[in-house]
Amino acid sequence: MKNIVILISGRGSNMQALLAASLNCNIAAVISSRADAAGLAFAQVRGVATEVVSHKDYPDRESFDAALAEVIDGFLPDFVILAGFMRILTADFVAHYQGRLINIHPSLLPAYTGMHTHARALHDGVRIHGCTVHFVTPELDHGPIIIQAAVPVLPDDTEHSLSARVLFEEHRIYPQAIRWLCSGQVKLNTDGKVIHHGRSLAGMALISPALETT
Ligand code: NHR
Ligand code: GAR
């Protein structure tokens, strides 16, 4: 069975969705970059090991990442899952977990990399927004894509309502992506392409606003 380590920084609702999903893998630990992350208590109650590696205890990104990697590697992970983890990681850290480091980002990448994705989508008036699970590469939010979910942006949407609609889909696609990885159905090729074994790539279209039925 594959070992996974989940990294969080706050609420941890994606981590909760992963714990609730009965994945075919062993969740070895939940590690937070903040001691006050609400998600830590949830993991503890469910008997999952928790650790805190606070970025505030380190003078620079290199030393924080080195300390974080040491704690992570103590759990012998096959995959390291970023779930609302809010620190940009150095190229050395990313290289150490090449093909094993996964992130969920609240936009349809490559649109809206970085922070404040929902506010920027609303500002631009896009009709479709969403979320993306991808392998992490040194370039922020640019790694190979495993799965995406698209949602409509509604006329009265606020950052709050739109982020809730996207988050609902995050909680569906993240467990699916990790299930595929742990069963070997999804792999990162040596040329940096994501390979889906035995998956139908047929899907439904989300058209927003909906087409008229004539
Ligand atoms: N690191 C690398 N190298 N590549 C990625 O794709 C990464 C990453 C680290 C985190 C998650 C991420 C996202 O999905 C992620 C992807 C934090 C920031 C950020 O600006 C940006 C993107 C992501 C996470 N962090 C600030 C920093 O200075 C701190 C912000 C804060 O603490 O609130 O690190 O979008
Ligand atoms: C999620 O929407 C996740 O996609 C996003 O932060 C939220 C964390 O929620 N991640 C980022 O923006 C990474 N920069 P959670 O802690 O409840 O899972």
List, in sequence order, the alpha helices (H) in 87-156: 91-96, 117-124
* CATH 3.40.50.170, the chain: domain bounds: 1-97, 108-214
- CA distance to 11, 82, 89, 185, per residue, from 44 (Å): 14, 18, 25, 30
DSSP class per residue in 148-211: EEEEEPPTT--HHHHHHHHHHHHHHHHHHHHHHHHHTSEEE-TTS-EEESS---------SSPP
Closest CA to ligand 2's atom 14: 86
User: Closest ligand 1 atom, CA of 143?
Assistant: 6
pLDDT tens-digit series, residues 78-97:
999 999 999 999 999 999 99
User: Is 77 a pocket residue for ligand 2 (Cβ < 6 Å)?
Assistant: no
Other beta carbons within 10 Å of 104: 24
The CA 71 to ligand 1 mean position distance, Å, reads 19
Three-class SS state of 134: strand
Q: Which ligand is nearest to the CA of 92?
A: 1
Give 5: exposed, middle or buried? Use CB within 10 Å, 0-12, 13-18, 19+. buried
Rounded CA-CA distance 80/6 in Å is: 6
The answer, yes or no, to whether any atom of ligand 2 lies below 6 A from the CB of 83, is yes
105 part of the active site: yes
- Distance (Å, rounded) from C-alpha 197 to C-alpha 8? 29
Cα gap 38→32, rounded to integer Å? 10
Q: How remote is the CA of residue 198 from the centroid of ligand 1, in Å?
A: 32
The pLDDT tens digits along the chain (214 residues) read 999 999 999 999 999 999 999 899 999 999 999 999 999 999 999 999 999 999 999 999 999 999 999 999 999 999 999 999 999 999 999 999 999 999 999 999 999 999 999 999 999 999 999 999 999 999 999 999 999 999 999 999 999 999 999 999 999 999 999 999 999 999 999 999 999 998 777 878 898 988 898 7
The CB of 106 under 6 Å from ligand 2? The reply is yes
**Dist CA 109 CA 101 (whole Å):** 17
CA-nearest residue for atom 8, ligand 2, is: 84
CATH number of 1-97: 3.40.50.170
For residue 16, the ligand 2 atom closest to its alpha carbon is 18
Shortest CA distance to 107 belongs to which of 144, 141, 154, 156?
Answer: 141
How far apart are the CA of 17 and the centre of ligand 2, in A? 12
Is 148 in contact with 104 (CB distance < 8 Å)?
no
109 C-beta closer than 6 A to ligand 2: no
Using CA atoms, how far residue 32 sits from 87, 131, 189, in Å, is 11, 22, 30
Q: Is the CB of 89 under 6 A from ligand 1?
A: yes
| Partners of residue 115 on adjacent β-strands | none
Most distant CA atoms of the chain, gap in Å: 63
CATH superfamily of 108-214: Formyl transferase, N-terminal domain (3.40.50.170)
CA distances from 124 to 127, 150, 207 (A): 9, 16, 17
